[in-house]
Structure 1
Amino acid sequence: MDHVGILSEAFYLPPGKKLVADVFRDEDVPFGTLSKNIDFQRDIGIHDIHVTDELPSVLAIAAARRALDQAGVAPGEVDLVVDFTSIPEDYVGPTWSAAGLVQQELGLENAFATAVNTGGCASYHLALKTVVSLMLADDDVTTALLFAGDRTPDLNKTYYPITVASDGGSALVLRKNAARARILGVETISIGRLHDVWYVPGLQNRQPNEEVTERLLHMYAKMDKFNEGVIPINFRMFGKVMTQLLDKLNLSFDDVDYYVYPTFSTWDQAYFMKKFGLSPEKVYTSALKHRGHVQESDMVINYAEAVEQNLIRTGDKVMVVSNGAGFAWSAALIHH
Structure 2
Amino acid sequence: MPLTEPVAIMAATHWLPEVRQKPADLDPAVRPADPGYTALAVSESLSGPELAVLAGQRALAEAGWDGAELGLLCYAWSHYQGHDFWSPAHFVADRLGANTALPLGIQQMCNGGAAAVQTAAAYLRGTPGTRRALIGTGDRFAEPGFRRWTGDYGVAYGDAGTAVLLSTESGLRPRLWLHTVATVAAPELEAMTRGDDPASPAPRWLRGTIDIRATKKAFLRRYPRDHYAGIERRKVTEVISRALHDAGLTGDDPRLTRVVLPRFHFDTLDTAYRPLVAGLTTATPVDFGRDTGHLGAGDLAAGLADLLDESLLAPGEFALVLSAGVGFTWSCAVVSHPAAADPIE
Change (3 A) 1:26 1:110: farther
Measured after TM superposition, the shift of residue 179 of structure 1 is 4.2
Aligned residue among 3, 17, 20 for 1:17: 20
CA contact (8 A) 2:259 2:285 kept: yes
Give me the whole-angstrom Cα distance separating, in 2, the residues matched to 1:109 and 1:26.
48
User: What do you get for the CA RMSD once the two structures are aligned?
Assistant: 2.9
2:157 aligned partner: 165
State the AA in 2 paired with 1:299. L
CA contact (8 A) 1:201 1:218 kept: no
Give me the whole-angstrom Cα distance separating, in 2, the residues matched to 1:205 and 1:68.
40
State the AA in 2 paired with 1:9. A
Aligned residue among 17, 39, 50 for 1:48: 39
Aligned residue among 73, 94, 99 for 1:81: 73
Change (3 A) 1:246 1:193: same
Instruction: Provide the secondary structure at the position in 2 that maps to 1:186.
Output: strand
Please say if 1:276 is aligned against 2:265. Answer: no
Give me the whole-angstrom Cα distance separating, in 1, the residues matched to 2:311 and 2:205.
51
Please say if 1:8 is aligned against 2:11. Answer: yes
State the AA in 1 paired with 2:51. L
TM-score normalised by structure 2 residue count:
0.82
Please say if 1:113 is aligned against 2:115. Answer: no
Any idea what the Cα deviations from partners look like across 1:184-208, whole Å, max 9, x if unmatched? 111111111111312599995279x
CA contact (8 A) 2:42 2:159 kept: yes
1:314 aligned partner: 315
Instruction: Provide the secondary structure at the position in 2 that maps to 1:15.
Output: coil
Measured after TM superposition, the shift of residue 229 of structure 1 is 3.6
CA contact (8 A) 2:23 2:31 kept: no
Give me the whole-angstrom Cα distance separating, in 1, the residues matched to 2:178 and 2:52.
23
State the AA in 2 paired with 1:284. V
1:34 aligned partner: none
CA contact (8 A) 2:262 2:300 kept: yes
State the AA in 1 paired with 2:275. K
Please say if 1:225 is aligned against 2:212. Answer: no
CA contact (8 A) 2:299 2:323 kept: no
Give me the whole-angstrom Cα distance separating, in 1, the residues matched to 2:265 and 2:27.
15
TM-score normalised by structure 1 residue count:
0.84
Give me the whole-angstrom Cα distance separating, in 2, the residues matched to 1:211 and 1:224.
18
Measured after TM superposition, the shift of residue 243 of structure 1 is 0.8
Instruction: Provide the secondary structure at the position in 1 that maps to 2:182.
Output: strand
CA contact (8 A) 2:277 2:285 kept: no
Please say if 1:253 is aligned against 2:247. Answer: no
Give me the whole-angstrom Cα distance separating, in 2, the residues matched to 1:218 and 1:161.
10
Any idea what the Cα deviations from partners look like across 1:46-78, whole Å, max 9, x if unmatched? 122121232222111111111111111112211
Any idea what the Cα deviations from partners look like across 1:71-101, whole Å, max 9, x if unmatched? 1111221111111112221224xx5331111
- Structure 1: which 5+ runs fail to align? 30-40
CA contact (8 A) 2:114 2:300 kept: no
Instruction: Provide the secondary structure at the position in 2 that maps to 1:253.
Output: coil
The structure where helix makes up a greater share of residues is: 1
2:266 aligned partner: 266
Give me the whole-angstrom Cα distance separating, in 2, the residues matched to 1:13 and 1:50.
7
Instruction: Provide the secondary structure at the position in 1 that maps to 2:286.
Output: coil
Give me the whole-angstrom Cα distance separating, in 2, the residues matched to 1:2 and 1:305.
24
Change (3 A) 1:141 1:228: same
Any idea what the Cα deviations from partners look like across 1:9-57, whole Å, max 9, x if unmatched? 011111222223445746575xxxxxxxxxxx33x43122121232222
- Structure 2: which 5+ runs fail to align? 338-345
Aligned residue among 233, 237, 240 for 2:238: 240
Give me the whole-angstrom Cα distance separating, in 2, the residues matched to 1:313 and 1:231.
35
Give me the whole-angstrom Cα distance separating, in 1, the residues matched to 2:189 and 2:195.
14
